[in-house]
Structure 1
Amino acid sequence: MSRSRDVFIVSNSTDELGGVTAWTHRTAQLFQEQGHRVHTIGIHAAELRMALPEPPGYPVTPLYPSHPPTPWTPQGVRDRFRFTARRDEAARTARKRQAVDRLSEIFRAARPGGVVIVSQVWAMEWVGEADTTGLRVIGMSHESYDYSRASHRYRWIKNHYAGLDHWLVLTEEDADIWAGDGMNNVGFMPNALAALPEVPSPRRVKAVTSIGRLTDQKGIDMLLDTWALVAPKRPDWRLDVYGAGEDEAGLRAQCADLGLDGSVAWRGRTDDVPGALAASSVFVQSSRGEGFPLALMEAMASAVPCAAFDCAPGVREIVRHGEDGLLAPAGDIGELADRLLRLTGNPRMRDAMGDRARANVQRFSEVEVMRRWEELFTFLER
């Protein structure tokens, strides 16, 4: 048993529907099982919420009841006379100071050797202003280098993570790229796979399943275009889309325009991922960008073979193409359709790849990942 520490996990939100929230609470539970005292902190409470463990067994603290307003900066002479905007900005600044003070108060209660893990880049804006005296601060990014590089988060990482004790990406490949970009304090830590379902999917239901938020990143629009190529050749198969998000109305309209309403089922959000996967024979991931996708690992743990866009190092780290799943070039709808046609048309391939997937994905077990976290904590104390 490792020595007990105070571990704070700070995220954008502690209850927002998505993979980082699932990671936060499962990791908190695992740290607690290791004997650590855990506190999860979100910058704000979410609008689209995920069901949390009942009871979580550790404090869960949002600093704001809802998403804080965006900072306002005067752009010219006229803006000097926008008194309402200036008053609102003063109120935002004062509220942020209160949030930072609350965070500092939480951190000051830590015993010597405490660790702050900042799981998302935006949250670092508050942690960076808080009093972290005597604590080791570890930043994280749950997306690939390429996906960060194409967004505003690249600048945030460069600005906020360079001076931390350590920061983590999800794969060795991405860590090497960031190191080459001048970030010398970077390492890598894969997401952990929860326990295997006791009974794997029998892979007898003619259903292809997607699980993820209905947002641009998850590429469900590309999945619908892909399914438009698959459905005419597999009229006895359906596509089950699990998830919710701001793009749902537009995606449903796209589905109708493509004439797919008869073969696509919109299942909504689910808290029973194993159950959804048990009723599936193929899993598909059509994301534009990913980190180390938990849904992909969960599908493999259920012995469901996967077809996915090779959009990030984490995806090709999890799926061994041709052995336990099939990858398609990122964004190539025709190639993803080909992978789905191969899996849906060949039950022997599905069974062989599904069984190998369930065996291979166990290299990301929770025991192994927790061992690596403990090694990191010990390293940072030297």
Structure 2
Amino acid sequence: MNRLVIVSNRVGDIDKSTQTGGLAVAIADTLRKRGGIWFGTGEPGSTPRNAAAGGGNVRQITVPLTQDEYQAHYAGFSNSVLWPLFHYRTDLLDYHAEEHAGYLDVNRRLAEELAPLLQDDDLVWVHDYHLLPFAGFLRRTSSRRMRIGFFLHIPFPPPEVLAALPGHRALLRSLLDHDVVGFQTARDVANFFGTIEALGLGERISQSVIRSDGRSIHCGRFPIAIDSGRFHAMGRSTHEDIRIDDMRRRMLNRKQIVGVDRLDYSKGIPARFEAFEKLLETHRELEGRISLLQIAPPTREGIRAYDTIRRETEALAGAINGRFADFNWTPIKYIHRAVARDRLAAIFRGSEIG
């Protein structure tokens, strides 16, 4: 079986139960089953890591960035430009040419670090918007025979939205250095085909194939998900039965809605709070009988848009609780930290809606 080499911005701890992002959860579940290498960046100032994990059949390898590299690649171009752009929020773009250059430099450096570790016939699976140009740098750096796939975990917008980005043509051209490009939805696939053809970067020759510079690139919708069977089993353990009973007792058998999302403006948490407020306004009989538990681990702290959404979310939760709460009932319970997956499984099992 071909060795699987997963490349992502961050390398999660495969043996840890508090992964907070969908990407990290999905990758960890895949590697536990198959084994391979998980390669990515490390925190600024950390030491390089090359260690066994997942019972010994996975190697986790990190390349620490400098503080300047982190700022340009992650906080800057990836999350102040690409993230809002791909979520149709062109009003939040904060573009700086030097951060764009730094983004490319980090992708080049990562490719140079991975190249010596590769073997012929490896399957290299690249993940997400932090690494759009990575495959091109890797092909130019390594002479190994390999296939490279790419999966985008966020929406892919239409060409008129992407046109807001300076240099978007070259960046999108780099996606055609993969053998397979995957997306979450059929709409994303259609937008990708439309963009590539609109920019004259390739020709669609079948329902799922683009021809570009003599190469065929397969594109499709491959919705990613957690290991639902494992998550279900977590919530069914005897230990979690005790936790659920305790939670229901503390709730005085009230009904509970639960939401679990990273604290990000793309998740719609303030809108969820406002909808819950509207529910209480229009159905006064539910006061004291239902609550909303929102678990929102922090993400991308120090970026202006995320500081804003944190303040907005906290203020809204406080305002709604101040308006409706009673001495023995709080309508919104807000947790701003990561929660272990086994605990999450129990919380979902003990809730009515989630």
Shift of 1:229: 0.6
Gaps of 5+ in 2: 13-18, 46-51, 77-97, 203-209, 211-216, 237-243, 299-305
Amino acid across the alignment from 1:110 = L
Deviations 1:52-94 (A, max 9, x none): xx9434222222256623179xxxxxxxxxxxxxxxx8xx97x
Aligned to 1:271: 340
Equivalents in 2 of 1:8, 1:276: separation in Å?
Answer: 34
Aligned to 2:312: 250
Aligned residue for 2:177, secondary structure, equals: coil
Aligned to 2:266: 217
Shift of 1:172: 3.8
> Are 1:238 and 2:238 an aligned pair?
no
Deviations 1:142-171 (A, max 9, x none): 123349975678948623202321211123
Aligned to 1:26: 29
Aligned to 1:140: 151
The list of structure 1 runs, each at least 4 consecutive aligned residues, that deviate by more than 6 angstroms after superposition, is 151-154, 199-204
Shift of 1:250: 3.0
Gaps of 5+ in 1: 33-37, 48-53, 73-88, 284-382
> Are 1:178 and 2:189 an aligned pair?
no
Equivalents in 2 of 1:159, 1:44: separation in Å?
Answer: 27
Deviations 1:317-340 (A, max 9, x none): xxxxxxxxxxxxxxxxxxxxxxxx
Q: TM-score, normalised by structure 2?
A: 0.60
Matched-pair contact (CA < 8 Å) for 2:122–2:147: yes
Equivalents in 2 of 1:216, 1:148: separation in Å?
Answer: 22
Equivalents in 2 of 1:147, 1:208: separation in Å?
Answer: 34
Equivalents in 1 of 2:353, 2:26: separation in Å?
Answer: 24
Equivalents in 2 of 1:31, 1:240: separation in Å?
Answer: 35
> Are 1:158 and 2:172 an aligned pair?
yes
Equivalents in 2 of 1:158, 1:263: separation in Å?
Answer: 45
Matched-pair contact (CA < 8 Å) for 1:121–1:139: no
Aligned to 1:8: 5
Matched-pair contact (CA < 8 Å) for 2:40–2:61: yes
Query: CA 1:127/1:43 → structure 2, altered by over 3 Å: closer, same or farther?
Result: farther
Aligned to 1:120: 128
Deviations 1:299-332 (A, max 9, x none): xxxxxxxxxxxxxxxxxxxxxxxxxxxxxxxxxx
Deviations 1:336-359 (A, max 9, x none): xxxxxxxxxxxxxxxxxxxxxxxx
Alignment of 1:1-382 (within 5 A): 3=1, 5-15=2-12, 17-32=20-35, 38-45=36-43, 55-56=53-54, 57=56, 58-65=58-65, 68-70=70-72, 96=105, 100=108, 103-130=111-138, 131-133=141-143, 134-146=145-157, 150=161, 155=168, 158-181=172-195, 182=197, 184=210, 185=217, 186-196=219-229, 197-198=232-233, 206-232=255-281, 233=283, 234-235=286-287, 236-245=289-298, 246=306, 247-258=309-320, 259=323, 262-268=330-336, 269-272=338-341, 273-283=344-354
Matched-pair contact (CA < 8 Å) for 2:262–2:297: yes
Matched-pair contact (CA < 8 Å) for 2:135–2:148: no
Query: CA 1:103/1:161 → structure 2, altered by over 3 Å: closer, same or farther?
Result: closer
Name the Cα RMSD after superposition: 3.8
Matched-pair contact (CA < 8 Å) for 1:138–1:167: yes
Aligned residue for 2:5, secondary structure, equals: strand
Matched-pair contact (CA < 8 Å) for 2:8–2:131: yes
Identical-pair percentage? 13
Shift of 1:132: 3.8
Equivalents in 2 of 1:267, 1:249: separation in Å?
Answer: 14
